[in-house]
Structure 1
Amino acid sequence: MAGHSKFKNIMHRKGAQDKKRSNLFSKLSREITVAAKMGTPDPDMNPRLRLAVNTAKSQSMPKDNIQRAIDKATAGDDENYEEVRYEGYGPGGSAIIVETLTDNRNRTATAVRTAFSKHGGNLGTEGSVQHGFERLGLIEYPASVGDEDTVLEAAMEAGAQDIESTDDGHTIWTAADDLHQVAGDLEKALGEAETVKLAWKPNITVDMDESGASTLLKLIDVLDDDDDVQTVWGNYDISDEVMEKLEG
């Protein structure tokens, strides 16, 4: 994460997920299947499924895997997953939101609670930290797509709320309800995005020292390893200096 934009380490450790490709594909497949079950199996007619498919493509998930996940939704299998969100506090006063898709609430709740308690945190009640975040649409492009002015003009034209550009790339924020429309307009102007998803953006961030950051990243790794956990969001900020010490 050293050198990444602030949101890169607020969101999750993408690099850690990349190393666990099969685990990531399993999570993506589950989201595709759930999205296809909740609506039509046609991505053009099902915005949530389109988001799931686009995310899978951005992670280089093979087309055959994507199609199998869609077919699974129409095959009448007995697996039924529900969305459950957990909220809690991590080391250093950080606030964490964990989004899951589970077929066993007790199993998932126990695993998430254990992860928090073993790594300097505690699981809170529903709504305990959500008030410190805003539900927004998130679109990310690599720096190679263009300079800040080019992307800013395209984003404003498409109706985006805000844009953050760094040497690593461009982060574009939209109202949650506008995500599909803005993403579609941006795709016409800039090409396919690296990320298109709903996000929890913190209103304020908490700076983490080396000790707190080390424990926090272990917590996030444990959560990421859980098959039921889809995404981990937080309001923490880890400086480049601290990350370099931890990675060194």
Structure 2
Amino acid sequence: MAGHSKFKNIMHRKGAQDKKRSNLFSKLSREITVAAKMGMPDPDMNPRLRLAVNAAKAQSMPKDNIQRAIDKASGGDDENYEEVRYEGYGPGGVALIVEALTDNRNRTATNVRTAFSKNGGNLGSEGSVSHGFERLGLIEYPASAGDEEKVLEAAIEAGADDVESSDEGHTIWTAADDLHAVASALEGSLGEAENVKLAWKPNLTVDMDEGAASTLLKLVDALDDDDDVQTVWGNYEISDEIMAKLEG
């Protein structure tokens, strides 16, 4: 168990997501509908749906919206989304993994390729960068959940593999197959998490200078703006100083 290492900027800045609340709700709804279609429409009987609902609640998505997304799965609508993963390189050689849910692979592939090419990146083939990442379960709690010792103890008890704590909050890692069980156990001891999802964690990270970071964030924003893109993961680190300059 590690308690001090940091995991920052791997998933794009939360602030950017907050500014796009309606877009974010649309993406969360799509994930809920897909999860409900793939299994039971009851979160207690469907681990993926439970994770999707928890993620929506963490973003303060209204209960009515959540229920509508679940109902849509059993309502006989003819929208069929499939999961697609794109891999490529951004400015400075940064490796990026883009997860999408789409009903039109050609449209999504074109949009993702365009975002890469217009913002200093190159789309690669499947498997071109994912070998440098681990597929893990990610659970995030705010600093208010407790001090480092309390969260570490709860995480060990719940069966987590690793904990990273900072002034900003706590990041808890699990094996991908254990995510649902660990998240449920932690909910009992620490309350509802801020974020629960499957993640791509890089084995090594790349420190970005200001110029490369600026272009990279434009690329990530362009990808985030696409309705089909669910999450963008990368192996980049941007210092607080550079981030403050770019957001200033």
- TM-score of the two chains, using structure 1 as the length reference: 0.97
Tell me the CA shift for residue 8 of structure 1: 3.4
* One-letter amino acid matched to 1:182: V
Equivalence for 2:130? 130
The 5-angstrom pairing of residues 73-88 of structure 1 reads 73-88=73-88
Equivalence for 1:108? 108
Matched, 1:208 2:220: no
Q: Report the identity percentage.
A: 86
> What value does the CA root-mean-square deviation take over the aligned residues?
0.9
Equivalence for 1:26? 26
Contact 2:87 2:127 in 1 (8 A): yes
* One-letter amino acid matched to 2:8: K
Contact 1:143 1:167 in 2 (8 A): yes
Equivalence for 2:38? 38
Contact 2:6 2:165 in 1 (8 A): no
Q: Deviations over 1:112-137 (max 9, x none)?
A: 00000000000000000000000000
Equivalence for 1:57? 57
Any stretches of 5+ residues in structure 2 without a counterpart?
none
The 5-angstrom pairing of residues 98-247 of structure 1 reads 98-247=98-247
Contact 1:97 1:233 in 2 (8 A): yes
Tell me the CA shift for residue 247 of structure 1: 2.1
Larger mean Cα displacement after TM superposition, 64-73 or 236-245: 236-245
Tell me the CA shift for residue 242 of structure 1: 1.2
Question: In the aligned structure 2, how far is the partner of 1:178 from the partner of 1:87?
Answer: 25
Equivalence for 1:9? 9
Q: Deviations over 1:164-209 (max 9, x none)?
A: 0000100000000000111111111111110110000000000000
* One-letter amino acid matched to 2:174: T
Tell me the CA shift for residue 10 of structure 1: 1.2
- TM-score of the two chains, using structure 2 as the length reference: 0.97
* One-letter amino acid matched to 1:57: K
Tell me the CA shift for residue 6 of structure 1: 4.5
Question: In the aligned structure 1, how far is the partner of 2:118 from the partner of 2:238?
Answer: 21
Q: Deviations over 1:73-105 (max 9, x none)?
A: 000000000000000000011000000000000
Question: In the aligned structure 1, how far is the partner of 2:29 from the partner of 2:174?
Answer: 25
Contact 1:6 1:237 in 2 (8 A): no
